Amino acid sequence: MTGLIAILTVVLLAVIIVQLARISEIASKIRGEESVRAQVNNRTAFYCLVFMIGFLIFCIVSAWYYKNDMLGYGPHAAASAHGGSLDDMFDITLVFTGIVFVLTHIALFWFPYKYKEDKSRIATFFAHSTTLEIVWTAIPTVVLIFLVVRGLNVWNNAMADIDPEEDYIEIEATGYQFAWDLRYPGNDGKLGTRDYKMINTANNPLGQDWTDEKNHDDFLPTELVLPVGVKVRVRITAKDVLHNFYLPHFRVKMDAVPGLPTYFIFTPIKTTDEYRQELRKYPAYQVPSDPTEPDGPQKWETFNYELACAELCGKGHYSMRRVVRIVEQDEYEEWLSQQSSYYMLNIRYTENDPNLDKLIGLEINQRKQELKSAFDNAVSMGDINTIRLKNVFFETGSASLKNDSKYELDYLAELLSSSEGLKVELSGHTDNTGESEVNMTLSQSRAEAVRDYLIGKGVSADQLSAKGYGDTKPVNSNETEEGRQNNRRSELKIISK
Ligand SMILES: [Cu+2]
């Protein structure tokens, strides 16, 4: 409808101009060329003046009216640390071009008015002025140098890579038709290596190398969640065609190129909630977010930062939108704790796991942590002073330690060596299968095996005693296999501190 009205207006204006021209043509034939020309000149000069003022007013009013849609202003303020300087750059350019626009506009229409035909005036002959040439070359040069130098400065700051000493989070975004695979580094803070030859849509979408320990805790979340105030380095790549990683509110935009990793660094400075509260002040956001539901939530309440693909990459391009959530540090840590490593969830102990025959660092650390907290508890509490060495294993019916036990015992040796004066008893226990005497002997030699191993690892022999209890101290029923398994165990008891 509006389009039709606009076309009609243009057509009508054209008809009016043609008609006016014809009228003055006829009039000039009747009244003589001279007087008509003077009249037309006067009229045109007047219209120039009217247009000069009218168009200036129109520009100023419309700029004021749309000011909230300008970058870095009102509801469009940047939400990242570098965003403000980028917006300022656009605004400064706008100020300079605005000044030039107003001056040239006035000159363009004032001159036809001022210097309309006047018989009594003789034109000045003016061919060259060095001063004038210098002035109008120097002014744009100075202005452009200022803009370029400032722009370069802003660019270099925004694109400066991370200083290894700095505190930052590195995440990775891989674009493909038509979604993003996001990857976070997990507890170690490091993203694992990838190899495109290992990409497999079924169980390795990013081609992660599972022999690389750094990959074991990496996780692939469905939403982009980041803590406020922390520097983020985004590693950006693509799997098929060109995509573009675009976070409009953070003034981040970088091509995702297959085979050529790019990156962008930014620091979010406003949480999603803070940004919503800012939007709340503007009438444009105080309307229902869904027009068909007038009582539903308002636009500012449903606002979300977003990640978009800004490269027209195919027909499903639009579906690459992802919600971005900026939260406080504690909420971020809470969210992190709910994420599970892709490897542990999908690969560990399957046929695709290259680490089947060994414990991975993640599991070793977990065992260490468990042992440490049990050990510390036993040392500090006194009454529950016995801990079970859950991961000490023997060959069946023998006192020779399985290789797997070394993780637990090595760490136990560290703990004991650093607790000088602490005396512990290492005990062996069996289930009730077989003869009691045999069990007693076996448990004694197992306890001694543990003691000897620890002494071999540098623990002082004075700290350690070993005792076998055979089947005399069951912790479970010996009726079930599970119960018997629980009864076959090695323990550590704090004797004195
Ligand atoms: Cu795309």
What global pTM score does this model have? Answer: 0.71
| Cα 476 to averaged position of ligand 1 atoms, centre (Å) | 59
| 184 Cα to the center of ligand 1, angstroms | 20
Task: With H, G, I as helix, E, B as strand and everything else as coil, classify residue 216.
Answer: coil
Residue 331: predicted pLDDT: 93
**pLDDT-derived band at 36, boundaries 50, 70, 90:** confident
The average pLDDT across 371-393 equals 77
Distance CA 190, CA 186 (A): 7
Burial label, 335 (beta-carbon count in 10 A; 0-12, 13-18, 19+):
middle
For residue 261, report the distance from its CA to the centre of ligand 1, in Å: 15
The alpha carbon of 85 and the centre of ligand 1 are apart by a number of angstroms equal to 27
Neighbours of 268 (CB within 10 A): 26
* Residue 263 alpha carbon to ligand 1 centre in Å: 16
Taking residues 158-184, what's their average pLDDT?
88
Q: In the predicted model, what is the mean pLDDT of residues 90-115?
A: 91
* Cα-to-centroid distance, 15 and ligand 1 (Å): 48
Q: Does residue 39 surpass a pLDDT of 90?
A: no
Q: Residue 232's pLDDT is what?
A: 92
Residue 320 alpha carbon to ligand 1 centre in Å: 6
Q: For residue 238, how far is its CA from the centre of ligand 1 (angstroms)?
A: 9
pLDDT at 382 over 70: no
On the question of pLDDT at 117 being above 90, the answer is no
What whole-number distance in Å separates Cα of residue 441 and Cα of residue 449?
A: 12
pLDDT of residue 68: 80
In angstroms, what is the span from residue 177 Cα to ligand 1's centroid? 6
For residues 396-409, average pLDDT = 81
Distance in angstroms (rounded) separating the CA atoms of residues 374 and 311: 54
Cα 247 to averaged position of ligand 1 atoms, centre (Å)? 13
Domain boundaries, the chain: 14-118, 168-347, 361-496
Strand, coil or helix: 474: coil
What pLDDT does 75 receive? 84
Distance 490 CA to ligand 1 centre (A): 57
Q: Which residue has the higher pLDDT, 108 or 476?
A: 108
Element housing 19 (H / E): helix 2-31
Instruction: Report how far ligand 1's centroid is from the alpha carbon of 218 (Å).
Output: 24
Dist. CA 156 → ligand 1 center (Å): 26
Give me the pLDDT at residue 326, please. Answer: 94
- d(CA 173, ligand 1 centre) in Å: 12
How far does residue 253's CA lie from ligand 1's centre (Å)? 13
CATH number of 168-347: 2.60.40.420
How much is the average pLDDT of 482-490? 84
Q: What is the pLDDT of residues 242-278, one digit of tens each?
A: 999 999 999 989 999 998 889 999 999 999 999 999 9
pLDDT by residue (tens digit) across 182-231? Answer: 999 988 888 888 888 888 888 888 888 888 888 888 889 988 999 998 99
Cα of 228 vs its chain's centroid, Å: 11
Distance 6 CA to ligand 1 centre (A): 36
Helix (H, G, I), strand (E, B) or coil at 285: helix
> What is the token pair recorded at 301?
């309440």
Please compute the mean of the pLDDT values over residues 375-404 and round it to a whole number.
78
What is the model's pLDDT at position 116?
A: 85
CA 200 to ligand 1 center in whole angstroms: 20
- 452 CA to centre of ligand 1 in angstroms: 62
The neighbour count for residue 411, using CB atoms within 10 Å, is: 20
pLDDT at 161: 84
Distance 313 CA to ligand 1 centre (A): 5
Distance from the CA of 298 to the center of ligand 1, in angstroms? 30
Cα(240) to centroid of ligand 1, in Å? 9
Q: How many angstroms does the Cα of residue 178 sit away from the middle of ligand 1?
A: 6
**C-alpha 249 – ligand 1 centre gap (Å):** 18
- Average of per-residue pLDDT across 24-46: 80
Cα-to-centroid distance, 160 and ligand 1 (Å)? 25
CA of 430 to the centre of ligand 1 (A): 62
Q: Nearest to residue 228, comparing CAs of 319, 324, 318, 315? A: 324
| 341 within 8 A of 363, measured Cβ to Cβ | no
> Where is average pLDDT lowest: 173-187, 288-302, 303-317, 366-380?
366-380
Cα 66 to ligand 1 centroid, rounded to whole Å: 30
Q: What is the dihedral of CA 270, 275, 276, 279, to 10 degrees?
A: 170
How high does pLDDT run on average in the chain? 86
> What would the mean pLDDT of 477-494 be, rounded to a whole number?
83
DSSP state of 385: -
User: Which amino acid is present at 175?
Assistant: G
Report the distance separating Cα 140 and Cα 146, nearest Å.
10
Find the 226 Cα to ligand 1 centroid distance in Å. 22
The amino acid sitting at 92 is: I
Question: Which of the pair, 350 or 104, is modelled with greater confidence?
Answer: 104
Residues in the chain: 497
The secondary structure of 136-157 as a DSSP string is HHHHHHHHHHHHHHHHHHHHHH
Q: Could you give the angle at which helices 361-381 and 406-417 cross, rounded to 10 degrees?
A: 40
Is the predicted pLDDT of residue 76 greater than 90, yes or no?
Answer: no
Q: Please give the distance, rounded to the nearest whole angstrom, from the Cα atom of residue 216 to the centre of ligand 1.
A: 28
Query: Tell me, what amino acid is at 320?
Result: M
Calculate how far, in angstroms, residue 259's C-alpha sits from the geometric centre of ligand 1.
15
Cα Rg of the chain (Å, integer): 39
- Across residues 33-47, what is the average pLDDT? 84
Q: Answer whether residue 54 shows pLDDT above 90.
A: yes
Per-residue pLDDT band at 492 (split at 50, 70, 90): confident
d(CA 251, ligand 1 centre) in Å: 18
pLDDT of 74 above 80: no
Question: Residue 133 CB: number of other CB atoms within 10 A?
Answer: 10
The torsion region of residue 288 among left (phi > 0), alpha (psi -120 to 50) and beta comes to beta
Contact between 404 and 411 under an 8 Å Cβ cutoff? The reply is no
Distance 153 CA to ligand 1 centre (A): 30
- What is the per-residue pLDDT for 99? 92
Distance 189 CA to ligand 1 centre (A): 27
**Does residue 268 contact residue 326 with C-beta atoms inside 8 Å?**
yes
Architecture of domain 361-496: 2-Layer Sandwich (3.30)
Using the mean position of ligand 1's atoms as its centre, give its distance from the Cα of residue 242 in Å: 7
pLDDT band at 383 (very low <50, low <70, confident <90, very high): low
474 alpha carbon – ligand 1 mean position (Å): 63
| pLDDT for position 51 | 93
Quote the ligand 1 centre to 54 CA distance (angstroms). 44
pLDDT for residue 384 is more than 70: no
The continuous run of DSSP H or E covering 101 comes out as helix 83-114
Mean pLDDT of 60-76: 82
pLDDT bucket at 330, cuts 50 / 70 / 90: very high
Q: Would you call 231 helix, strand, or coil by DSSP?
A: strand
State the Cα–Cα distance between residues 481 and 129, nearest whole angstrom: 107
